[in-house]
Structure 1
Amino acid sequence: MTAAPTRTGTPTPVPATVRLSVLLWLTAITAGAAEVLVRLLLPEPPTPAQLWARFAIYTALAVLVLALHTGRGAVRWAVAVLLGGIGTLSLVVEPATWLLAGGSPTAFLATADGPTLLVTGLRVAHIAAVLVALTLLFRPTASEFFRRH
């Protein structure tokens, strides 16, 4: 990701904020994929169809994220809405519902087995990577880069 052509055809370097955002988006996708694999160790593992669907989605999202270096505003908004919006919502609905139903984080941590704790850690890392990646994607240098293309 060294340069993307502008509307005039002149290549411009991809700003560090966009490069780091891409790296963090890919980190989030990797954490999601790892979480699915760790879930295979749990009492109710994902089915082969669920695994296939997840990895197809992760592959498509990775391709979309890698397209950010082109500087196309539509790609930035697609990543922001799909991964930053819908994806984040899908990650927090389950734990938020559990907390609202009276779940105790302390009791959970005291009784969770290794794979469950690993899934939880991967989910936290996933969400953190998404939040930082999304923030970087809309920093002034990133916005200027997308505005030029």
Structure 2
Amino acid sequence: MDIPKEAQQAYTFWILAIVAGMAETIFFVIDSLLKNATSIQGLVMGILIRGIIYTIFIFVTIQMRKRKNWARITLAIGLGIVGTLTLIIDPISWLMEGHAISEAFVGLNVWSILFTLSRIIHIICVFAALFWMFRPNANQYFRAAKYTSVNN
């Protein structure tokens, strides 16, 4: 069975989400270095951890495209739920502390704007991937893989 458009779209959006996440990391590092906002050791650790996570999820995304339902579930939980929460918890916490949205625009520079745009693209791509990954044709694609592996 060829990969349906829906599963291919999900694959494409997962890859775009990961690339946007990588871009976020780059923009954050540049912004932090320019502002002397964090230690080099902290930045290196953050880069290493994110690099490992992105590598794992690229592998999982490729497995999802190869009809592995475990990969589809891993992406839905790992990036769809946990990953999205990690992206939105800081802004929500910051707002709940009583900060005004207008305060978010104080001290913006090119790198922080690029970081914010990449974060928005990242979140949109995650939601789009989730949407496509669970469309009826995609569900059938993964179900057929399960029955094929059982009968072989």
* TM-score bracket relative to the smaller structure: 0.7 to 0.9
Tell whether 2:133 aligns with 1:137: yes
**TM-score after normalising by structure 1:** 0.86
Gaps in structure 2 of 5+ consecutive residues: 146-152
Work out whether residues 109 and 117 of structure 1, in 8 Å CA contact, stay in contact via their aligned partners in 2. no
Distance 1:48 1:27 in 2: 23
Correspondence for 2:79: 83
The CA deviation at 1:103 is 2.3
Runs of 4+ with deviation above 6 angstroms: none
**By percentage of residues, which structure has more strand?**
1
Correspondence for 1:26: 15
Identity of aligned residues (%): 28
**Structure 1 residue identity aligned to 2:132:** L
Cα RMSD over matched residues?
1.4
Tell whether 2:15 aligns with 1:15: no
The CA deviation at 1:130 is 0.2
The CA deviation at 1:54 is 0.8
Distance 1:113 1:80 in 2: 33
Correspondence for 2:96: 100
Tell whether 2:136 aligns with 1:147: no
The alignment of Structure 1 onto Structure 2 pairs a total of residues equal to 138
Gaps in structure 1 of 5+ consecutive residues: 1-11
